[in-house]
Structure 1
Amino acid sequence: MTEPDETIPSSDDDQMREILETLLADDEDITARAVARSHPTIKAASSITRSESRSRLIAQYQQRQADYRRWRVRVAKRSGTDTAASLADKDIRIAELEATVQLLTASHLAMLRAVGELGGFSRWAKFYESHRDARDKLAELGAIPAAPVSAMPVERDGKKIKR
């Protein structure tokens, strides 16, 4: 018997994600059994635990729940004013970091275009061959030009010269 392709998200997994979100929001313990009880088509916890992708998803949500519960305890020990001030500071910091990422992405993209115009994009790409994770992250951020870059003609003594 063949195993289903776990890389393709199924409607069961989408429903499972919704159930996990509900369990997280209601602060109910996240377990394979709790998901199976709420799921319309998955009836046994083993159907979840045998699937690597589903087990990974459960583990991610269990980690999120542990983080939420840890934060809730910390917040309970602080005054409402302290908590509000801390959240406001964190919102400001997040906004600053997002602006920094946008600036770095734009400058990186401009740098790549300049390198491409000078004919060096292939060398840049060759450098990042051994750093695939970094290159993939840059692509995810939109910091790599989507269109091919061609060298600009250079003018010498009023004549255009191709490189």
Structure 2
Amino acid sequence: MTDKIARLEEVLEAMLVDDEKITARAVIRRMSGVLKYPTDITRNEKRKALVADYAGRQDKIRSAVERSSKSSRVELERQISLKNSEIERLRGEKELLIASHRAMILSTAEMGGFGTWKRFFDKYQAAIDALDGMGALPRAEVVRHPLSEQP
């Protein structure tokens, strides 16, 4: 059963790539005898749902292509330019927020409240890891004071 489902998915993916209309009859033609009749698809809920899912994907792809082909090249370039400028603006805002966040943590730590700040995030290690990955947590190097090294 799972071999037939796997083969069906392969055929549906190929039909999607080839932009061949996805119907139960068309799928049977491409199945090379694995399934013989369209009812082998329409009477089995899993197969029927899989074919419907791929047909829906195909409709979405075709409508996206249709919309984009109606737009002129100049219009598409304008839209890309707008999206690129929005991306740059968002990157700048992200960098500003990271710098601001780092400064707030440093000022909290200077006042002796870093432990309190960290307590809010103890249950959210993933958030701390994400902040660290973005560079939003300040880095500090511990250096021994020269007077403490003397006997």
- TM-score, structure 2 length as denominator? 0.51
Which consecutive residues of structure 2, in runs of 5 or more, have no partner in the other structure? 95-117, 126-151
Aligned counterparts of 2:7 and 2:79: Cα–Cα separation in 1 = 35
Cα separation, partners in 2 of 1:85 and 1:23, compared to 1, 3 Å: farther
RMSD of aligned Cα (Å): 3.2
What letter corresponds to residue 73 of structure 2 in structure 1?
Answer: G
- Flag the structure with larger Rg: 2
Aligned counterparts of 2:79 and 2:38: Cα–Cα separation in 1 = 40
> What does 1:78-89 align with in structure 2 at a 5 Å threshold?
78-84=71-77, 86=79, 89=83
What letter corresponds to residue 36 of structure 1 in structure 2?
Answer: I
Partner residue in 2 for 1:44: 37
Tell me the alpha carbon deviations over residues 107-157 of structure 1, each in whole angstroms, 9 at most, x when there is no partner.
xxx99x82399xxxxxxxxxxxxxxxxxxxxxxxxxxxxxxxxxxxxxxxx
Specify which of 113, 119, 122 is matched with residue 114 of structure 1: 122
Partner residue in 2 for 1:28: 20
- TM-score, structure 1 length as denominator? 0.47
What letter corresponds to residue 19 of structure 1 in structure 2?
Answer: V
Partner residue in 2 for 1:13: 5
Cα separation, partners in 2 of 1:30 and 1:116, compared to 1, 3 Å: closer
Cα separation, partners in 2 of 1:84 and 1:25, compared to 1, 3 Å: farther
Percent identity over the alignment? 31
Specify which of 62, 66, 74 is matched with residue 55 of structure 2: 62
CA deviation after TM superposition for structure 1 residue 65, in Å:
1.0
Which consecutive residues of structure 1, in runs of 5 or more, have no partner in the other structure? 5-9, 101-109, 118-163
Tell me the alpha carbon deviations over residues 80-108 of structure 1, each in whole angstroms, 9 at most, x when there is no partner.
24335545738x86xx8xxx9xxxxxxxx
Aligned counterparts of 1:14 and 1:46: Cα–Cα separation in 2 = 18
Aligned counterparts of 2:41 and 2:51: Cα–Cα separation in 1 = 9
Aligned counterparts of 2:24 and 2:43: Cα–Cα separation in 1 = 10
Moved over 4 A (4+): none
The SS at the match of 2:36 is coil
Partner residue in 2 for 1:71: 64
Cα separation, partners in 2 of 1:82 and 1:47, compared to 1, 3 Å: same
What letter corresponds to residue 12 of structure 1 in structure 2?
Answer: K
Q: Flag the structure with higher helix content.
A: 2
Aligned counterparts of 2:53 and 2:124: Cα–Cα separation in 1 = 40
How many aligned residue pairs are there? Answer: 94
The SS at the match of 1:25 is helix
Cα separation, partners in 2 of 1:66 and 1:116, compared to 1, 3 Å: closer
